[in-house]
Amino acid sequence: MKIIIVGCGKIGTTIIANLVSEGHDVVGIDSDPAVISNLTDLYDVMCVCGNGVDCDVLAEADVDKCELFVSVTGSDEFNMLSCYLAGKMGAKNTIARIRNPEYNDKSLGFMRNELELSDSINPEQLCAREIYNILKFPGAVGIETFSARKFELLEIRLKPDSPFDGTSLAELRRKFQAKFLVCAVERDGVAIIPDGSFVLRGGDRIGITATPSELSKLLRETGLLQKKTRSVMILGASTTAFYLAKRLIDAGISVKVIEISRERCEEFSRKLPSVTVICGDGASAELLMEEGIDSADAFVSMTGLAEQNILISCLAASRNVPSVITKINRSELISMAEKMGLESIISTKKIVGDLITGYARALQNSIGSSVETLYKLMDGSVEALEFSVQSDFEYTNIPLKDMKLRKNILIAGIIRGNTPIIPAGSDIILPGDKVVVFASGTRLSVLSDIMA
């Protein structure tokens, strides 16, 4: 499938890398020759150096043959105009990055309609939502949602004294009352799709699927749920911090933001007067102590410098802050941060990369089923996908125990109407269902790909 990406910064480059690995015909457009040169050195893609709202540049990129056009420059207005022109010149689907908080849902819907955008993405808002979800379950490594939050995926790292340590998955299901499924395990850097006989060990990173209520029930039963988050300290008054602080304040959670720029502090205070904003250097341990880091339930480090985020997060962890979340957009630093003991790591470019990858798969093939949601887990070695089952899917009304699935495939959930189901062998898939599948070592484009 031919896909054009305008704006080849961190997010654009991540999207390109994902799409190239999926086998798509990708074209990158950027006005910076150095960026274009670096991109061609890294990936086997065609690049055009020029302005993404120049019709001649778009024509050179063969926009009329484009099935998906994505503009992710730093300017919302540029992205919208670029997508509008691309659509008029023949691009079949267009997605614009629009991140300004001043564009509310009503005005954004109007612009999307008038500009004939297929969709819009707000990386900062998506990032804030993921951080907020993690804060709901203190101690979680990550949390993802399916089908409008009817179904959730929680990633946690098992401690040596965990009640799961030394227990098989079949025993776990019998031992606890909650309805859940352990659907992925990472042990010593190796990802595994486990069966019922698999025995968990302390140190494992596991993915658990359940409904939100059953997930809370499980964590209460096992004692894995730490105390509820009531106060959050945020380092850096970025756009992501604004979206996060707004969500937290609306949920009744106390928020303190530390920012070194007086101009940003004043703007943040004006927009969110109920947030405590401290103007100072968040890299100063003395300042953090003075502002009460020891009494915070959670600390989120999201300055523009990944190295600073890592170091200050390590300080927060050393002060026994229950939940420490670190924003890192440099892939090469993530593994180092994990080795330093940081577990809840957020990458905006990864979130957007997964989103666009899922969108492209949905466009590529919708026979029998289509990809609704895609997440890459366990450092990308496991995929969790949500499929929408259509009437022409071949394997409906067959008990799951009678379906011959490929190796390292697990059907982790079925959503039927408003009812989420943790599947057992006697369950079946029906047209109209949403089906959540976990896969390791294979790429699924349609639901029938799970069959052997």
Residue 135, in any domain of the structure: no
CA distance 87 to 93: 7
As for how many domains the chain has, the answer is 3
Residue identified by tokens 């057992």 is: 424
Do residues 310 and 336 lie in contact, with contact meaning Cβ atoms separated by under 8 Å? yes
The DSSP string of 338-407 is HHTT--EEE-HHHHHHHHHHHHHHHHH--SSEEEEEEEEEGGGTEEEEEEEEPTT-TTTT--GGGS-BPT
Tokens linked to 136: 């709901």
Do residues 404 and 450 lie in contact, with contact meaning Cβ atoms separated by under 8 Å? no
Q: 303: closest CA among 231, 233, 238?
A: 238
Contacts of 181 (CB under 8 A, 6+ apart): 208, 209, 210, 410, 412, 413, 422, 423
Same domain, 22 and 49: yes
Residue identified by tokens 């600390």 is: 299
Q: pLDDT band at residue 368, thresholds of 50, 70 and 90?
A: low
Mean pLDDT of 19-41: 93
Q: What is the pLDDT of residue 31?
A: 95
Same domain, 341 and 381: no
Which of the pair, 224 or 185, is modelled with greater confidence? 185
Mean pLDDT of 193-199: 91
The DSSP string of 226-285 is -PPP-EEEEE---HHHHHHHHHHHHTT-EEEEEES-HHHHHHHHHH-TTSEEEES-TT-H
* Tens-place pLDDT, residues 311-350: 999 999 999 998 999 999 888 898 889 889 898 899 999 8
Residue 37, in any domain of the structure: yes
Residue 431, in any domain of the structure: yes
Residue 165, in any domain of the structure: no
Mean pLDDT of 238-260: 95
Q: 310: closest CA among 332, 278, 291, 279?
A: 332
Q: What is the pLDDT of residue 365?
A: 63
Residue 303 belongs to a domain with what CATH number? 3.40.50.720
Report whether pLDDT(189) > 90. no
Same domain, 331 and 380: no
CA distance 244 to 247: 5
Report whether pLDDT(48) > 80. yes
Report whether pLDDT(367) > 60. no
Same domain, 109 and 53: yes
Length reported for the chain: 452
Task: Give the domain-ending residue among 323, 346, 369.
Answer: 346
> Which of 75-82's residues contact partners 24+ apart within 8 Å by CB, and which partners?
76/100, 76/103, 78/52, 78/53, 79/6, 79/7, 80/111, 80/115, 80/117, 81/53, 82/6, 82/52, 82/53, 82/58
Task: Give the domain-ending residue among 72, 105, 121.
Answer: 121
Neighbours of 37 (CB within 10 A): 12
Report whether pLDDT(369) > 70. no
Residue 361 belongs to a domain with what CATH number? 3.30.70.1450
**Residue 61 is part of which domain span?**
2-121
CA distance 244 to 132: 7
CA distance 145 to 164: 23
Exposed e or buried b per residue across 227-252, where buried means at least 16 C-beta atoms within 10 angstroms of its C-beta: eebebbbbbbbbbbbbbbbbbbbeee
Do residues 434 and 414 lie in contact, with contact meaning Cβ atoms separated by under 8 Å? yes
Same domain, 357 and 321: no
Lowest mean pLDDT among 42-46, 258-262, 266-270: 42-46
Q: What is the pLDDT of residue 225?
A: 65
Tokens linked to 166: 């030394």
CA distance 257 to 279: 9
**Main-chain phi, psi angles of 237, to 5 degrees:** -100, 60
Same domain, 381 and 298: no
Query: Does residue 448 sit in helix, strand or coil?
Result: helix
Same domain, 331 and 357: no
Largest CA distance in the chain: 65
Same domain, 257 and 335: yes
Report whether pLDDT(63) > 70. yes
How high is the mean pLDDT of the chain?
90
Neighbours of 262 (CB within 10 A): 10
Residue identified by tokens 């890459």 is: 376
CA distance 43 to 25: 11
Q: What is the pLDDT of residue 366?
A: 56
Q: Number of C-alpha atoms within 13 angstroms, CB side, residue 350? A: 18
Task: Give the domain-ending residue among 312, 346, 380.
Answer: 346
68 CB burial (10 A radius; 0-12, 13-18, 19+)? buried
Report whether pLDDT(413) > 80. yes
Same domain, 384 and 314: no
Q: pLDDT band at residue 188, thresholds of 50, 70 and 90?
A: confident
Same domain, 334 and 394: no
Same domain, 240 and 340: yes
Same domain, 23 and 116: yes
Residue 221, in any domain of the structure: no
Q: What is the pLDDT of residue 318?
A: 94
Exposed e or buried b per residue across 135-149, where buried means at least 16 C-beta atoms within 10 angstroms of its C-beta: bbbbbbbbbbbbbee
Q: What is the pLDDT of residue 217?
A: 85
Mean pLDDT of 174-194: 88
Q: What is the pLDDT of residue 104?
A: 63
Do residues 159 and 166 lie in contact, with contact meaning Cβ atoms separated by under 8 Å? no
